[in-house]
Structure 1
């Protein structure tokens, strides 16, 4: 990681309470002589006319600073990984596993970054091939039914071999990073981001014998919809939702590029779990 950044981009969640942290961030950038670009939402919160569109933000900077929750972080992950621009997230949301730095340590955290003390945590993404398009996901891809309370049936294959017909509310395929997102709520395991694997978690399976799986990250996973005449969707990182039709499939594997995520020099993943999940109670 370079000890000196030249141009930062600031991305913020649309909430008035963020203004104070935007002002603190800009003050540190000015103090460290770092130029900056504001994404549209951040500019609007500060009532500044000049801004950069979110889809172009990674091309305008060599560091992206996210002030918000994990949803805000996920909204720029694809652009950041394609441009190989490091991202740091300060949590202004609720849980915040991606925006792991605390808002209370914003000033200290930025000074660590600009003095070269922060570390890079490389995060793997999923590549999802669906409807002749390729998508990426930092957390997960989910197949689940719409509003009708009926069981959805999915044919699950790994490396071409049939694993199961998954009957239930749906299926989650996640990275280790995404194991603490939707997957954990559905009973999936917590997987350290350093582990080379993918997690397959059923959502309310009708068969109690089908349990979550962790598979090697050189695997290719496919899931085919076997239920006809039912509203079913593929949701990618909670950002994009696409309808999936009877007998259509998604194919999932690890994406060739990884996301460089900046973390504090004293970051410990298990301490993060302890703090975020209240394991000390």
Structure 2
């Protein structure tokens, strides 16, 4: 891969990330690497990092370090969507699945990234356009009622052809990354991150299409809202974006390989993904669950079984 000479830093606005910033500053000085931060993150990151505009940040960084949880990571991926670069997630949240390392691991991780000793996990996004307005979603797009209790009524077109209509509490367009979130809770499918497809899933369907559909990246989806006094609201990765204008159809397409997530230990990520699936009530046997425990806990469990002569299940 290309040499990394400028690293961007994205930080959660309220997490205590100063120790990680010190590690980054020390690494940059030792390796002759420039550190860049956007104006919105400058106060949180502090001195020692060059402050640039969002446009300069996106155009100049060779890699990004995200300090926060998966939400911060999603923001970092959106910043780099027009020129995907490796993004390393440092977990300051709870259970994270996009983030890769804990803060104490940052120094060693930076050396590995600088040496090119890592793998890249590609992620898709949904690209949206409503008139001149555009946005991207790495998890999901939700069409929801503008008011509590309001229903959503939209027509679905695929490649310009009428597919059907929805009348429901909400409508979800989900990437593979987001398929285990709201989409899954609404009865949608779990999709492998390697699949270049996206799901359209209604929430509490009352009429029209009542099941999830899965569409390939080549398909162009158009949503056309029904004329009503309060148009539904579009939410992108959980953030309010704009109302769905009945006069302006919304188009959505899947962009494969829109982001590059750094993986230093693919095996650990696979185990973490299996934990996530177990939390979603997908069945695992007791011995399979035990395999997901950290090494120290597995050893403690083995000793406990030995003392109590517990069966191996």
For the aligned pair, the TM-score class normalised by the smaller chain equals: 0.7 to 0.9
**TM-align CA RMSD:** 2.7
Work out the number of aligned pairs and report it. Answer: 280
Confirm or deny: 8 A CA contact 2:38 2:53 kept in the other structure. Answer: yes
Q: Which has the larger radius of gyration?
A: 2
Alpha-carbon offset, residue 180 of structure 1: 3.0
109-118 or 74-83: bigger deviation: 74-83
CA 1:61–1:221 in 2, change beyond 3 Å: closer, same or farther?
A: same
Deviation at 1:197, TM superposition (A): 0.7
Alpha-carbon separation, structure 1, partners of 2:56 and 2:120: 23
1:21 & 1:277 partners in 2: Cα distance? 30
After TM superposition, give the deviation of residue 116 of structure 1 in Å. 1.3
1:209 Cα offset (Å): 7.2
Q: CA deviation at 1:42?
A: 4.4
Do structure 1's residue 28 and structure 2's residue 27 form an aligned pair? yes
**1:247 positional shift:** 5.1
Distance in 1 between the 2:36 and 2:45 partners?
13
CA 1:180/1:23 → structure 2, altered by over 3 Å: closer, same or farther?
farther
Q: What residue is the counterpart of 1:95 in the other structure?
A: 95
Matched, 1:9 2:8: yes
Q: CA deviation at 1:276?
A: 4.0
Which residue of structure 1 aligns with residue 192 of structure 2?
Answer: 192
Change (3 A) 1:179 1:93: same
**Structure 1 unmatched runs, 5+:** none
Q: 1:131 to 1:184 in 2, by over 3 A?
A: same
- Asked if the contact 2:164/2:208 (under 8 Å) is kept, the reply is no
**Matched position secondary structure for 2:179:** helix
Alignment match, 1:134: 134
Q: Structure 1 residues 97 and 266, CA, compared in 2 at 3 Å: closer, same or farther? A: closer
- Aligned position for 2:105: 105
Deviations along 1:150-182, one digit per CA (max 9) or x if unpaired, are 221111222333333211112111221222343
Distance across 2 between alignment mates of 1:195 and 1:60:
30
Task: Specify the SS of the correspondent of 1:83.
Answer: coil
Asked if the contact 2:100–2:269 (Cα under 8 Å) also holds between the matched residues in 1, the reply is no
SS, match of residue 51 in structure 1: strand
TM-score scaled by length of structure 1: 0.86
Does 1:251 pair with 2:251?
yes
Matching of residue 211 in structure 1 with residue 207 in structure 2: no
State the alpha-carbon separation in 2 of the partners of residues 219 and 104 from structure 1. 43
In structure 1, distance between residues paired with 2:45 and 2:136: 31
Name the stretch that deviates more: 242-251 or 39-48.
Answer: 39-48
**Alpha-carbon distance change, 16 to 97 in structure 1, aligned in 2, over 3 angstroms:** closer
Aligned to 2:307: none
- Report deviation, 1:113: 1.0
Q: Hey, which of these two has a bigger chunk of helix by percent?
A: 2
The answer to whether the 8 A contact 2:89-2:99 is kept is: yes
